[in-house]
Structure 1
Amino acid sequence: MPFCLKCGRELVDEARFCISCGVSSAAQLRKSQIGRRILLGFVLLDLLAAGALMFFLFQSQAPILKVTPTPTETRRPPLQPPQTTTLTPNISPPNSPPAPTEGEENRIREMLVLFFDALNRHSVDEVVIYFSDEVEILINHGKDYSYRGSREDVKQYLLVAFTLAPDAEIKEVNISSLEVGDYEAKVQVTYLVSPKRHNLSRTVFEQFELARENNLWKIARTDIVY
């Protein structure tokens, strides 16, 4: 049963006024409904506030998840095998003769043996055979004597040399260096020169420059140092 909102007495069913204080029951009913609505509003506000507080607390304590976007995979074109180009070498036969072999070195050694043998025998005609058409002869790099001329004219030089040292003998000939090319060669030789009547000797260094003429090695230049 309802009660009076003013005095608290119990209201009689279907009574329009309170029998105690005389307040209209319809007005009290409207006030009661308004009060209930206000109370319900406060309850809803409390629920909303409590829900918001719980949501805030949950968000502050929950771990932050970082979402890393997945990189878009770039499709590369398939690898193509490298293209190879076959080059055909352009090989042409050389115009010059092949490089000299060990046989050419042996020919030069044999020629020098015959040359020094002809010098020891003082045979002018045999010595000049081993010179080229144009020959140059130096003594101590040209400081003491030098000659340059034809092979025939070098005979006079040899005659003078043999006259000044009639008993000179060349011995212990040693080839220390030999460089052979297609048409030129360089030879370094050391030997001893001593008179036959005396036991004295002098070491001589001689540098030969040879030229190839008609497939024969000839002395084009010589430098005698002692």
Structure 2
Amino acid sequence: MADRQGGTATWTARAHALATAPEARELYDAWAPTYDDDVTGPHGDDYPLPTTVAEVVARLGGPGTDVLDAACGTGLVGEALARLGFRSIDGLDLSPKMLARARTRGVYHDLGPADLSQRLPGAGDKFGVVTCVNAFEPGHLPRSALVEFARVVHRGGHLVLTVGAQRRAEIERYLEQLARRQIVRVAETFEALLHPSTGECHLVAVLEVAATTSPRGPRQ
């Protein structure tokens, strides 16, 4: 366990120091072959966050809900959703090699590469839920990505995201701004275990999309 945690900590430290999309693509392409083993542990049970998020999505809507798994990585969230009966799951990620691993799970309707700090491909108001797990971390997505996630969710749909301790205050303040701009409403927040072996927790935020595209204003 110590060796695994040491290796994971090294990858995580490098990920938190990322500054550009090409750097992120290169790092996650390199990490893809061992990512699942690194984060889930030797028994596959040390990363419950994807299951936690999937269970939240199941409370929000039935298995016919169209879900976008943003920053899907190797597909751990998609797999957790599929276990609960979801079949209409799309995934986006910056890393082609992470996407290749996700594709082998056979649970996604559509998978594609995307820089999630930019405008997302496709039309707005398409999805019932967007999930984003473990991507609002240092060196990762800008907070403005939340506005774009909201754009592709139909009114009354939801965003379900997780936030680590290092960016929690920043994201919580930004969610207050988005609520004042009537883009999202914070429906629920709670703490969830990231890794039981370390006791580390992430904030899980459930946001209801509260407006159409036009009044959302400039990205900040």
Name the TM-score class by shorter chain: under 0.3
Structure with greater proportional helix content: 2
Structure with higher RCO (Cα < 8 A, 6+ apart): 2
Q: Which has the larger radius of gyration?
A: 1
In the superposition, the TM-score normalised over structure 2's length comes to: 0.23
Q: TM-score with structure 1 length normalisation?
A: 0.23
